[in-house]
Every structure is written in C-alpha cells, then in structure tokens.
Structure 1
Amino acid sequence: MRDPAVLLHVNGVEATYQNAIVALHNVNLTVQRGEVHALLGANGAGKSSTLKAISNLLVLERGQVTAGTIRFDGHDVARTTPAQLVRLGLVQVLEGRRCFPNLSIEANLVTGALGRSASRAETAVDLERVYAIFPRLKARRRVAAGLTSGGEQQMAAIGRALMSRPRLLVLDEPSMGLAPLVVQDIFARLRQLNREDGLSILVAEQNSTVALQYADRATVLEAGVTVLNDTAKALRQREDIQHFYFGRDVAHQAPALA
C-alpha cells in the first residue's frame, strides 16, 4: 500500500553503464513530501548516477537500471519518460548548471516554462516569482548567461527549473565551484522555498557541512551503496561521518572560486 506521505521511493536500485560498469549496487532512499533531503557522499560515490536514475536520464549516457524500483508519487519512473516526469513535477537541475550561454538570463528562464506548455500570462507570473527569489537575476535578465558569474548561472539554472513548477526539485552538486557565501545564499533561498511553498527538495552534495545545515534528513552513499539514512540533526552531531565517508573534514576545505 502506498504511503501518501512519501513523494519519492527508491528501493534496492542497481545500475550499470554500457552493460559493464556497475555504478549503483544497492541504493535506498525515501523523500517525504515537504522535506529537504540531502544525498551525500564523496566524489564517485554514485550521487549523480542516482539522480539520473530518479529522473530516468541514465539512458542518455548508455546507462540503465538493472534492479530495484523507483516510484515518484506512485508513478513507476522506469515506465515514465523524462518529459512526462517533468510534467508530473519531478524537475532536475543537472551538475554544471547547463545554461544556454548565448541566451539572456530571462530567455534561459523562459525555457523552463515550455515543458509544461505555460501560457504567456503564467510565464510572466512565474518570472516575477523567480526574480523575487533571486533579485540578482532580475538585474541581469538581459545579459547573456555565458557572461554572468558562476553563482548567477546556478541561480538561473534553479530558476529555470522553478519555471516548470516542480513538486520535487532535484539538484546535483549546486555548490560546485562557487564561493562559500554564494553557496550559503543559494541554500538559504532553497530552504525558504521549502518552508513557504512546501517544495520538496532532493539535493546531492559532496559538501556535507552546508547540506546538513539546511536538510531535514539525509542519505549517505559509499561506492554506489546506501550506508546511512538518518535525520540531518543526528548526522551533524556525528563527527566521524565526514572523516569516515568523505575522507576529510569538509568544514576546513579550501574556499571555492567565485
């Protein structure tokens, strides 16, 4: 029987690339409605592969889920196209921001409304909502995305996803390459969206310090296997987590470039 409180359920998922390279061995996680859930692990732990499996995007990299099940709001992800998942409310922001560099910030944002066939009026309303969340984007809305900073591009990528009106926003390493203050600002705004709009968020992060600061619960991966599921508060209180699973104290890592 389906639990109405569960928005996403990943059960015993295994995945391979090119029918030879095993990326995921046994991944299990559950995202409750209205929560921020962090997917943690060192580089190569399987975070990106897990997110691509959740969005049914593995096939784009000659990958496939070979065992287990993924259900989003009761829908079998394996039987649902990525475009259908977006219309159902599962929207992913891929690693590396992936903006259209020659398009303006505003044009990048508008592309997010195309997948749900939004009217011009709906698009205008959603644009103002995104600009209220990320005021820097409004000031830079006429600038080509390729000429903006990494932080602004990440905000644009998130804003584009919000234009699709997601119920579950999936983010892959949103802090990568960004200055600590920019990262804190982005996570704070995501948390605000979660609290004010009830938006569910699944965020994969190598920077466990910032992720656990804003998450409700977390799942830790190691070599493609789920090794921990717990509340963020409980994991924050365990100093051994970062040393054992991430190989270093990420709270003392060198600052990222702006």
Structure 2
Amino acid sequence: MGHDTALLAVDGLKATYNHAITALDGVDIHLARGEILALLGANGAGKTTTLKALSNLLPAERGQVVSGSIRFDGLDVLRTSPGTLVRAGLVQVLEGRHCFRSLTVEENLISGGLGRGSTRAEIAGDIEKVYAHFPRLREKRRAFSGLTSGGEQQLTAIGRALMSRPRLLVLDEPSMGLAPIVVQDIFRILRHLNREEGLSILVAEQNSAVALKYADRAIILENGVAVLTGNANDLRARDDIKSFYLGQKAVAPSIPAVVS
C-alpha cells in the first residue's frame, strides 16, 4: 500500500516511558481508507502504547515518542492536540468502557456530540443513527450507564465515539471482560459500520480469534515490534501464530515470521 493512499501512516515509531523503559521499538502501521485493521499481541506487547501515541495521549502518561512519525490524513499527529485530532475524525474508544457512569445512556451519547461541537439538530440526528445501529441502547436510553451491563457500557462508549463523526475509529480491547456472544455482536456491528458507511477501524485485541474473523488485515506486535503483518484470513489459518505470538500455547513457529 502506498503511503499516500493510507488514511493512517505510522513509520518507525519508537516510544519510552519516563525516558527509560522502551515500550515501542520501531512500529510501522499503514491503514487504508475503508479498512478494518487488527492490532494483535499478548498483554504488554505494546498495543495500548501504540494507540495512545495515535491520539497524542502519551505525554499525559509520562510517555514520549522518541522517533518516528504518525500521519492521519496528512496531519502530523505528534504536533496536533488530542482534541483537534478528534475533530479531524480520529476518535478513540479507550480500554475499560469509558462512559460517564452517573449520566444516562442518552446523556453519554449527547456528550460525544458536544465534544465535536455538533449543533442540537446534528446531535438529534446522530443519536437516531446510533439507536438504529444499537437498538439495545434505545431501550436503555434513560438508564444510568453505571447500572447497565458491561456489554451495554461498551456499546455506549462506541456510540459516544460515533457521535463525534469519526473517519477512523480506534478501539482498545473492546472484547475485554465481555461474554463471547456480546463480543460477536459488537464486532458484527463494527463490520456493518465499516461496510455500510465506509468507517475505517483500527482495533487492538488480545482476542485474536474474533479480531481475525472480522478484520481485513492484521499486524502482530511482540515486545514493541511489529513482527508480522498480513491478510486476516491467511493469518487465521496459521496455528503457529496463535500459539507463538498470542500466548495461547508455547510452540515455535514452523515458518519464517514475515508474510506480506
């Protein structure tokens, strides 16, 4: 893929925490418009650090990008504030179902629209769209988010992100702590948004089985390095990947670790 066709281009990204601990050591990611890209790897592989770098959130966590570049649709991410990135269409759903627990589901959605400066009429229209995708949220719209299920909180967090009208939706471990049937539902909805509305999606996941089922391509991180990239279907067929890189069984890979 040419760099100019990429909506997101990460090149040679190196990052540390407290100027000492190396978290990323040369990560490259190219995501095309309209693509679902999965970022896979065991816990501690560098997935969350990569996503925080994409939204320029590392400085708030005593992290720093020491070299490399990140461009989102021509914007130099490392010179752009997190709020400006959201308004430009790079919208992230952080790990742990971030919604305002003391607000209702609908108030959470409204807050997403206010964050990007939508008018009242735009917010009303966007809420209807979210409810069309997530009928469960319509049923729960008057409930306080803190009293809804984990799956409903995750849907609320995704719905709130959609209210910011993303062009690239970035999700950190959306499956964490959720029942498999709920996870399948969430990924089905994400793929529907991708196919019907052309939403580009980058999803970091430890659950490689579900991510590879719904993604177009995948990148596997190990110890802060992208060790493998390829078509999701091809990677799904390779048992050595699940066992070796994703920590499911300890067996050495039988074939070289570079596929394109």
CA-atom RMSD in angstroms? 0.9
Counterpart-to-counterpart distance in 2, 1:116 and 1:61 = 24
Query: Is 1:211 matched with 2:211?
Result: yes
Which residue identity is paired with 1:41?
Answer: G
Question: What is the one-letter code of the residue matched to 2:92?
Answer: Q
Partner of 1:114: 114
**Matched position secondary structure for 2:245:** helix
Is the 8 Å Cα contact of residues 29 and 229 (structure 1) preserved in structure 2?
Answer: no
1:54-113: per-residue Cα shift (whole Å, max 9, x none)?
Answer: 110011111110010000001110111000100110000000011111000000111111
**Residue deviations 1:8-29, cap 9 Å, x none?**
0010101011111111111111
Once the 2 structures are TM-superposed, how far is the Cα of residue 4 of structure 1 from its aligned partner? Answer: 4.1
Equivalent pairs, count:
248
SS of residue paired to 1:157? helix
% identity of equivalent residues: 67
- Please tell me whether the aligned partners of residues 70 and 78 of structure 1 are also in contact (alpha carbons under 8 angstroms): yes
Please give the TM-score of this superposition, normalised by the length of structure 1: 0.95
Q: Does 1:59 align with 2:74?
A: no
Which residue is equivalent to 1:170? 170
TM-score (norm 2): 0.94
Tell whether the 8 Å contact from 1:99 to 1:108 is kept in structure 2 after alignment: yes
Give 2:194's aligned residue: 194
Distance 1:205 1:148 in 2: 23
Shift of 1:5: 2.2
Whether the 8 Å CA contact 2:3–2:30 is kept in 1: the answer is no
Residue 152 (structure 1) aligned with residue 152 (structure 2): yes
Asked if the contact 2:108/2:156 (under 8 Å) is kept, the reply is: yes
Q: How many Å separate the matches in 2 of 1:205 and 1:45?
A: 11
What is the CA–CA distance in structure 1 between the aligned matches of 2:242 and 2:3, rounded to whole Å? 32
1:252 equivalent in structure 2: none
Output the amino acid matched with 1:214: Y
**In structure 2, the residue corresponding to 1:97 is in which secondary structure?**
coil
Once the two structures are TM-superposed, the CA of residue 115 in structure 1 deviates from its matched residue by: 2.1
Aligned to 1:255: none
* 2:36 aligned partner, one-letter code: V
| Equivalent residue letter for 2:39 | L
The reply on whether 1:44 has 2:37 as its aligned counterpart is no
Q: Per-residue CA shift, 1:185-229, capped at 9, x if unaligned?
A: 000000000000000000000000000000000100000000011
Distance 2:5 2:238 in 1: 28
Distance in 2 of aligned mates of 1:246 and 1:165: 33
Shift of 1:247: 1.8
Q: Which residue of 1 aligns with 2:255?
A: none
The 2-side partners of 1:41 and 1:184 are apart by 19
1:89–1:167 Cα contact (<8 Å) kept: yes
Residue 19 of structure 2 aligns to a residue whose secondary structure is coil
Aligned to 2:90: 90
SS at match of 1:53: helix
How far the C-alpha of 1:3 sits from its partner, in A, is: 4.2
Matched AA of 2:82: P
Runs of 4+ in 1 over 6 A off after TM superposition: none
- Distance across 1 between alignment mates of 2:61 and 2:83: 17
CA positional deviation for 1:139? 0.4
- Which residue does 1:8 correspond to in 2? 8
Gaps of 5+ in 1: 250-258
Q: Which consecutive residues of structure 2, in runs of 5 or more, have no partner in the other structure?
A: 250-260
- Preserved contact between residue 41 and residue 246 of structure 1 (Cα < 8 Å): yes
CA distance in 2 between partners of 1:5 and 1:182 (Å): 34
Alpha-carbon distance in 2 for matches of 1:238, 1:246 = 12
Q: Distance in 2 between matches of 1:98 and 1:15?
A: 25
Contact 1:242/1:248 (8 A) holds in 2: yes
Using the alignment, how far apart are the partners of 2:247 and 2:229 within structure 1? 19
Equivalent residue number for residue 247 of structure 1: 247
Q: Distance in 1 between matches of 2:74 and 2:218?
A: 22
Partner of residue 253, structure 1 = none
